[in-house]
Amino acid sequence: MITVHNVHVVNLAVIDIVFLCVCSVVDVIGMGVIAFQDGLLSISHSHSAGIMFVQTLTFTAACGTLIALAFQRYLAIVRPLENKKRRTVKNANILQTLVWTVSIAMGVTVAALESDSASHVIAEGFSLYQATFFFSLLILSIIVCYIAIFRSVRERELVEGGRVARWQQKRNMRMLRMVNMLVLVFVITRGFWLIYGLYANHTTPLEVGDDKLFHDVMIQIVARMGCAVNSALNPVIYGMLTPDFHRHLVQIIFHPFAASKPQRRGTMEGREEKVSL
C-alpha cells in the first residue's frame, strides 16, 4: 500500500543506497591505501568534485526527508481529521521533489567550487556550513514537532477512549518510534562527521607524513564510515518497526503509479454481523 509515510521512507532508502555505493566505497579504498602505504596519506580522490557532490546531496536530502517524516507524523497525530487533505501521496511527492531539487542545487554548487583548485577551501567551507544549517534545522524541526505531538497525545489520553482510538494511537506511536530511531542514529553518526569537519576546517593543515595528519585522516575515515553504518542500519530499522515495509518498498519502486488495492471487507462484515446479533 502506497502511503505518505512509505514515500518518505523509500526516498530515505534511496539516499542510503547512493551514499553506500559511492562515498563508502571510496572510504574503503582510502583505508586500504593508508593500511598498505603509510607514506601515502593524500586521499585526494575522496575530496574530488564528484564525491563532494554526492556527499552534499545525500546529507541535505537526508535532513530534508527526516524533517518531512517528522512533519508527516505531526499531521497524522495532531488533529488528523483537519490535516487529512494535506497528508496525500501527491503532496508527499511534491515535497520530496523540492527536497531533491534543493539538495542537487547545493551539491552542484559545492562541486563547481571544488572543481576549481583556487576555490577548494571555499568549497569545503560552504559544504560544512550549509550542512551545519540543515543539521540545525533538522534538530529544531524535530523539537518543535515532538513538543506539539507530546502535548496532543497527553490531551488525547485524557479525553478520548475506546478500542479504535487506542489502536490508532498505538500505530501512530510505532511509526513515531521508527522516526525517532532514524533521527537519533543520523544525529549521532552524521553529527560526529560534521563536528570533525568543522574542527579540521579551522585547523592549520600539516605536512604530509606528520603523525597528527595521520591521526586526522583516520578520524575522518572513521567518521564517514560511521555515516555508512547509519545508512546500512536504516533498512533494518524500517523492517523492525514498519510491518511489511519491504513488500511495500518493492511495490512503490516497481509500481509507483499503481492504485492501492481496496481493503478487504471480510473482517468488517464479521463485525457488522456481531453488532447485529
What local confidence, expressed as pLDDT, does residue 52 receive?
Answer: 79
* Tens-digit pLDDT profile for residues 39-94: 444 444 445 677 778 888 888 898 898 888 888 888 877 777 666 777 788 888 88
What local confidence, expressed as pLDDT, does residue 258 receive?
Answer: 45
Task: Categorize the per-residue pLDDT at 273 as very low, low, confident or very high, splitting at 50, 70 and 90.
Answer: very low
What local confidence, expressed as pLDDT, does residue 102 receive?
Answer: 92
The CATH number corresponding to 12-259 among 3.30.70.140, 3.40.50.1110, 3.40.50.150, 1.20.1070.10 equals: 1.20.1070.10
What local confidence, expressed as pLDDT, does residue 81 receive?
Answer: 67
Domain boundaries, the chain: 12-259
- Distance (Å, whole) CA 241 – CA 124: 37
Across the chain, mean pLDDT equals: 69
Task: Categorize the per-residue pLDDT at 100 as very low, low, confident or very high, splitting at 50, 70 and 90.
Answer: very high
- Distance (Å, whole) CA 98 – CA 204: 37
What local confidence, expressed as pLDDT, does residue 171 receive?
Answer: 63
Q: Report phi then psi at 265, rounded to 5.
A: -100, 10
- Distance (Å, whole) CA 8 – CA 63: 12
* Tens-digit pLDDT profile for residues 210-253: 555 555 566 666 666 777 777 777 766 666 555 555 555 555 55
What local confidence, expressed as pLDDT, does residue 216 receive?
Answer: 59
- 174: pLDDT strictly greater than 90: no
* Tens-digit pLDDT profile for residues 105-140: 988 888 888 777 666 677 777 878 888 888 888 888
What local confidence, expressed as pLDDT, does residue 267 receive?
Answer: 44
Please say whether the dihedral angle defined by the alpha carbons of residues 14, 258, 85 and 263, taken in this order, is positive or negative. negative
